[in-house]
Chain A
């Protein structure tokens, strides 16, 4: 993926929470979900995803439990906790505002300036 973007530091957590906000998933499902929804545009090492998950589990933003996949494999399923949900809401708001600001500045036309 030569044209993939580096993930801005700190955004991975929010992206993972967003992925999990639909349904509990195991690690590979999250990776696939992110790749599918970014069109493969996020250059994230898989290990970074797990580190994000573990970090958030420690902070209580996600909870994990062992479950079984549809192919009958033991897998660790992650689920957003209530704290994780409010964190996601807050971070999302922050990101959108930030992005609007940046876009607003970067797209100023010559006439306005």
Chain B
């Protein structure tokens, strides 16, 4: 190695190996000759002198070999050094050039930064949602979620990932392909602490084998053990999430062994989960509790009728998904002891953790895949645009390039210079892009994917690597095309040419690039339009209620925590009803409350089904949406929810326990059961009413969505609060005069004062329950629109620069034309027409591309055709108008060409 700072002073052409060898021979020969002459001068004979000189020199062949080796190494090192020196010169030259054209450089850097930054940000999102899997899970690809598909005759097949304890236990004993089986669920809303200081947290429960299955170790303390999760003797222990531990215990080890109140009950802290651990899903978990504590029924260890667990398995090494699915099915069928023949014949399968509740890829995952595509398209557009501008620069520097070539600068050298410029611009772009990526990623995280636990910063090592890769790609693309064009330059032509001639072929390449940009922009904007339309439609779906107007209040009634026996149940329930009615009266008197009601069975939260019979009918038809679903509601419910009463009346304060049994049915239920006639005055026998009392139907209300924004219609009916049987879990619903979040605090204060023994009062808006379902559409619309607008701006600037360039090129021609009698407006029309032709060609191509790609986008849209003609028309027109605006400046310049001036420059 040559030391840094040491340079060859005289830049000789690098020597080839044979030349180096000749030099060595010459040097040795001269030395011997001078030595002989010196010795002869001391009186030796020529023969003696020659002998002595040879002796003093030493062994000639060895010396020759050693000198050659050293000299060759030296030359190799020099060659590398020389290359870097040259490259440094190129770099300096490129920097000077870019520094002179600040506007150009700034525009290019910003364009590339947007393209690269969008890619880096999207990579970060996709990395979290699709690639990395949940944190702290060893080999997450080997951990699968269990699903069950059953086929029910009139409804068709349905898939679920909810199981009872029995399924988990049997898979554990009868399955052969699983290294581990575990069950878990959550996170759910929970309350930490009691009284006024109680805070909402997210808690999840899991079997003790869940943690070893994932391969996660506690950060402090330990996860709970199988002895603490015994079905008949579970301990109230809790493992805190890292975040909650830092928030409540300031990250102190003294938390271990402390008792905390979770949903009113005491739990002993045994450990802290590592930072970012979220189990098998991606949203934050504040507390982990043993599965055996959270059972829905007294006979939960043996019943086939309750499903509340998600089951996870780790496949044994070498076992495929198909084998594991078959194994699970066999295990299920051989152990099922329930009475439902469709469940007995159900097929089980396993799918990766990222899958939806029905075993398909999640919408968010599918959307984020598209977003990566979109980000790449933006980068392509940015590259095309920068390449375009670079080509214009190369053309401006054509004379300079030709002179350099004529002076003997190698074409390879020239290529290197232009590539250096490209890489330099890309480096600048990549550097700025980090800021862009942080901005976009922060926005996406906070606004569009708030439910995901983000442990890494928006720009981590992997994102930076992706940024660098995108930057290098951009640099090569941006540098290579101009370099290739320039290195093919025709010397003599370029040397002879004035500033205006030639460039016909360049113009074609540039026009092609502009058309490509317009086409890609069109595709992005069509995508944006389709998503925006979807968002608009999804937001305007009539849910049958007004989620943004309703505050949902939950208050655990003291005493309900103890396990009810059948004997105590009725009395307990009665006490509860009295208490809730009392609270309702107090709330209605609260200033700012427009209406309030009580409700068992809350839309988007819980749906109940009980036995239902009708006098004079054997069976009730089944609808694809399931049901019929029952809710028990107090008077004022429909007014609070904003559900329209279509026929008859709503419940009154007199509809309650002990009065005439009545019911209200949904429109779909009325139409299904009594087509062509009024449902009023028919009646329903609900629950296991031994007395067969028939509830008279007094009203028909609009259909209300149960769980999904998009779901098949289902039958629903309502009974008065107090007349229900077999269902429980009361919510208080408040419809404020103003905003629901503003009334939350007064409501909490009032209820906490009214029921001082209640551990906490939880409030949330109904909107919070519905909002997650809008997110994938919001995500798609936001990113497509953002990228589409970026692309549009970039493409417009690209078109402007091409048109400006063409006008400058043809100034002479325009001058001649005007001199020959053409008017300025003719020139204007000519240029404007040229710009519009390019734009229309691009739009046409883009529309064709969008139509072709639209089919893939279709599943992500909400009741919107991927071929929606309005979207295509609006996007097409927008692009043409923008193109006209971009061409207008150059066109006006063309019209103002002074013929004398233009001709004189020749």
Contacts and interface: CB of A to CB of B under 8 A. Distances in A.
A50 B57 CA distance: 10
Contacts of B60: 47
A18 interface: no
A50 B26 contact: no
Contact of B31 (A27, A60, A66, A82): A27
Which of B9, B10, B34, B57 gathers the greatest number of chain A CB atoms within 10 Å? B34
A76 B27 contact: yes
A58 B73 contact: yes
A28 B34 contact: yes
Interface residues of B, number: 31
Nearest to B77: A58
B132 interface: no
> What DSSP secondary structure best describes chain B's contact surface?
helix
A45 B73 CA distance: 23
Given A46-B57, A74-B26, A51 B31 contact: no
A81 B6 contact: yes
Contacts of A32: 38
A65 B31 contact: no
B23 A76 contact: yes
B74 A47 contact: no
A72 to B, nearest CB: 12
Interface in B259-315: none
B48 to A, nearest CB: 16
A76 B3 CA distance: 22
Contacts of B63: 47, 50-51
Contacts of A57: 70, 74
Contacts of A76: 23, 26-27
Contacts of B67: 47, 50-51, 54
A31 B31 CA distance: 9
A31 B57 CA distance: 11
A63 B3 contact: no
B71 interface: yes
Nearest to A52: B70
A54 B71 contact: yes
A6 B74 CA distance: 28
Contact of A60 (B3, B26, B35): B3
B30 A82 contact: no
The interface size bin for chain A is: 20 to 34
Interface in A8-53: 26-28, 31-32, 45-48, 50-51
B13 interface: no
Contact of A46 (B6, B31, B62, B74): B31
Contact of A47 (B12, B38, B59): B59
Contacts of B28: 50
B8 interface: yes
A54 B70 contact: yes
Nearest to A29: B34
Contacts of B30: 26-28, 73-75
Interface in A59-104: 59-60, 63, 65-66, 73-76, 81-83
Interface in B3-50: 3, 5-6, 8-10, 12, 23, 26-28, 30-31, 34-35, 38
A50 B6 contact: no
Nearest to B12: A65
A47 B58 contact: yes
Interface of A: 26-28, 31-32, 45-48, 50-51, 54-55, 57-60, 63, 65-66, 73-76, 81-83
Given A57-B74, A58-B74, 5 more contacts: A28-B35, A54-B70, A73-B30, A81-B6, A82-B6
Top 6 A-B pairs, shortest CB-CB distance: A47-B63, A45-B58, A60-B6, A47-B58, A58-B74, A54-B70
22 contacts: A27-B27, A28-B30, A28-B34, A31-B35, A45-B57, A46-B31, A46-B56, A46-B58, A47-B57, A47-B59, A47-B66, A50-B28, A50-B67, A54-B70, A54-B71, A58-B70, A59-B3, A60-B3, A63-B8, A74-B26, A75-B30, A83-B3
